[in-house]
Amino acid sequence: MSTDEQLSELKDRISQMSNEELLKIVEVEYDDYRIEALTFAEEELGKRGIPFEKPAIEDDDEQTDSVAPPESYQPCGNCGGPVRAGFLFADKELTMFFSDTNEERFVHSLVCSACGDMRLVVDMHTDVED
């Protein structure tokens, strides 16, 4: 079975789980799961509109005042390589506007150093000031 087939099977299994099982994975037992499973579980909760708390990543080797989002410490979902945080610029920082709540949030980019795969992550905690 190829890696793509394995990931597809994992995603299918996770999509069949109950809300309680998914919450337990992402909030309690996260250390017991590989990053792909956690990502799929978080995505499934997002699709279902179920809020969840991501645990704080504690790493004694990292500075606590780092500006990089916690997701930057996770390996690339595509190849497993190291991921670097960055910012996209045009005339100003890239933001996302949610029309249903009239809120604007910053968008961070995460880029794999090995394969160049890029992921965009919305910072749901920092308000954009006008």
Residue 16 is part of which domain span?
3-48
pLDDT in tens, 30-71: 888 888 888 888 888 888 888 888 776 554 444 333 444 444
Q: Tell me, yes or no, whether 61 lies in a domain.
A: no
Flag whether 55 is in a domain.
no
pLDDT (0 to 100) of residue 117: 82
Closest CA relative to residue 77, chosen from 33, 37, 121, 46: 37
Q: Which of 76, 71, 89 is nearest to 125 (CA)?
A: 71
Alpha-carbon distance values, 43 to 6, 48, 93 (Å):
17, 9, 25
**13 located within any domain:** yes
Q: Are residues 77 and 115 in the same domain?
A: yes
Q: Are 40 and 75 contained in the same domain?
A: no
- Nearest Cα residue to 129 out of 93, 104, 94, 112: 104
Q: How many domains does the chain have?
A: 2
Q: Do 86 and 122 share a structural domain?
A: yes
Q: Please indicate, yes or no, whether residues 78 and 122 belong to a single structural domain of this protein.
A: yes
